[in-house]
Amino acid sequence: MSKLKKIQLRHARKTEDAAFDFISYQQFGQPLHTAPVVVVLHALTGNSQVSGPEGWWNGFIGDQKGIDTSKFTVLAFNIPGNGYDDQLIDNPYAYRLKNVAAWVLEALDSLELQEVYALIGGSLGGCLAWQIVALRPDYVKHLIPVAAHWKASPWVVAQGMVQDRILSNSKDPIADARAHAMTFYRNPNAFAVKFKSDEASVAAARVYDWLSYHGKALEHRFALSAYKFMNWLLTTHDITAAGASLEQILKAFTGNLHLVGIQDDLLYAQRDIKQTFWVARELGIPVHHHTLISDQGHDAFLIEQEQLSGLLSSVFASASLKENSYELS
């Protein structure tokens, strides 16, 4: 397992209700400053363990895989407050995703990285990737938000509000919120395929057991304050909140945009991702749109890793190991 590393933030983020002073990450693949850098950002219940036996994207990131660790330096950051580094934020409403983006950029600056070859994230991680580019549009060569959007839609806000109500009021908050979340992380077809049965009572019992299993599993590894914070970040995300329009942000972006949507995703609709594609294309931005074909709904970005590797193969196959004067030892 890659060792967890910490970077002290120069300006400790403190309010009356929240305080922390570092951001943690894990490094995979090649030594820093010897190969192109890929920055990976995690989903709501994820963390920096993206590769290796316990990695949540280990079918996509690793030796000879989609993001080949024999060719790239992979940096995976923890969102402060996710609990993976034992750091929690007492007040989950103290910050927004744009603050997290600033912390990640501060960490990258402390590592003396002049640019990033690719910035990729799934779900909440993809939203965070959008926020980073909004803050520093000339820093990333390839922006790859997977199953994500540049702002929280009314539907995402609604689901987040229900999640927050459950987390704040339930007697078993993490398990109950997770059970509810699985209904929009998947989709009706995914449930139909998984629980097809001639007898409704049998199917109902299996659905109940499956949702309960996922709820209890998360309860054992995720803190309540972490869940509240990550959920808050997801539902308050909007790169245009500071006043700049999407068009202005895209015009400032100097890299290539790769939008990855999922067939029948109930959380981030394909129509929103496709609309962003057309806006970028009209502006002359180098933009590509890909669709993961799956009956698993939003969770396909975790499940269909081989397909994701194929969709993005040209991005990572085109990188030169000597790009920007890198010399491999």
Give the residue from 183, 203, 232 where a domain finishes.
232
pLDDT score at 329: 24
Question: What burial letters (b/e) apply to 166-203, b meaning 16+ CB within 10 Å?
Answer: bbeeeeebbbbbbbbbbbbbbbeebbeeeeeeeeeeeb
84 and 188 belong to one structural domain: no
Render pLDDT for 215-237 as a digit per residue (tens, 0 to 9). 999 999 999 999 999 999 999 99
Average of pLDDT values for 83-95? 90
Residues 6 or more apart whose CB falls under 8 angstroms from that of 206 comprise: 195, 197
The alpha carbon of 75 is separated from its chain's Cα centroid by a whole number of angstroms, namely: 13
pLDDT score at 217: 97
Contacts within 8 Å (CB) and 24+ apart, 58-66: 58/305, 59/305, 59/306, 59/309, 60/305, 60/308, 60/309, 61/28, 62/28, 65/309, 66/305, 66/308, 66/309, 66/310, 66/312, 66/313, 66/316
β-strands 116-122, 37-41: how paired? parallel
51 and 138 belong to one structural domain: yes
Q: Name the band, by pLDDT with cuts 50, 70 and 90, for residue 326.
A: very low
Give the residue among 163, 178, 184 at the shortest CA–CA distance from 228.
163
Cβ proximity of 234 and 121 under 8 Å: no
Give the residue from 181, 216, 232 where a domain finishes.
232
pLDDT score at 20: 73
Q: Which amino acid is at 318?
A: S
Cβ proximity of 262 and 300 under 8 Å: yes
Output the 3-class SS for 77-93: ECCCCCCCCCCCCCCCC
Render pLDDT for 180-193 as a digit per residue (tens, 0 to 9). 999 999 999 999 99
pLDDT score at 13: 56
Q: Is the pLDDT of residue 63 over 70?
A: yes
CATH, residue 249: 3.40.50.1820
Give the residue among 32, 119, 33 at the shortest CA–CA distance from 326.
33
pLDDT score at 91: 85
Mean model confidence pLDDT for the chain:
93
35 and 75 belong to one structural domain: yes
228 and 94 belong to one structural domain: no
117 and 263 belong to one structural domain: yes
For 123, other C-beta atoms within 10 Å of its C-beta total: 28
Q: Is the pLDDT of residue 325 over 80?
A: no
145 and 168 belong to one structural domain: no
Average of pLDDT values for 67-94? 94
144 and 206 belong to one structural domain: no
DSSP state of 96: -
- Put simply, whether the predicted model's pTM sits higher than 0.75 gets the answer yes
pLDDT score at 33: 96
pLDDT score at 12: 52
> What percentage of the chain exceeds 90 in pLDDT?
88
Q: Is the pLDDT of residue 37 over 80?
A: yes
Structural domains counted in the chain? 2
Joined together, the tokens standing for residue 41 give 């950002």
Quote the CA–CA distance of 84 and 98 in Å, as a whole number. 21
CA 32 to each of CA 27, 74, 326: distance values in angstroms, whole numbers, following the listed order = 9, 9, 10
Give the residue among 36, 115, 105 at the shortest CA–CA distance from 77.
105
140 and 74 belong to one structural domain: yes
Q: Which position has the higher pLDDT, 16 or 287?
A: 287
Cβ proximity of 61 and 305 under 8 Å: no
Q: Name the band, by pLDDT with cuts 50, 70 and 90, for residue 11.
A: low
Give the residue among 38, 4, 39 at the shortest CA–CA distance from 23.
4
179 and 131 belong to one structural domain: no
Question: Which residue segment(s) compose the domain that 212 sits in?
Answer: 155-232
Cβ proximity of 143 and 129 under 8 Å: yes
Render pLDDT for 102-133 as a digit per residue (tens, 0 to 9). 999 999 999 999 999 999 999 999 999 999 99
pLDDT score at 237: 96
Contacts within 8 Å (CB) and 24+ apart, 192-195: 193/295
Render pLDDT for 310-319 as a digit per residue (tens, 0 to 9). 999 999 996 6
127 and 181 belong to one structural domain: no
174 and 136 belong to one structural domain: no
Render pLDDT for 232-254 as a digit per residue (tens, 0 to 9). 999 999 999 999 999 999 999 99
Q: Name the band, by pLDDT with cuts 50, 70 and 90, for residue 158.
A: very high
Mapping DSSP to helix (H, G, I), strand (E, B) and coil, where does residue 282 land? helix
Q: Is the pLDDT of residue 26 over 60?
A: yes
Give the residue from 209, 232, 255 where a domain finishes.
232
Mapping DSSP to helix (H, G, I), strand (E, B) and coil, where does residue 116 land? strand
Render pLDDT for 260-294 as a digit per residue (tens, 0 to 9). 999 999 999 999 999 999 999 999 999 999 999 99
Q: Is the pLDDT of residue 327 over 50?
A: no
pLDDT score at 322: 43
140 and 176 belong to one structural domain: no
pLDDT score at 77: 98
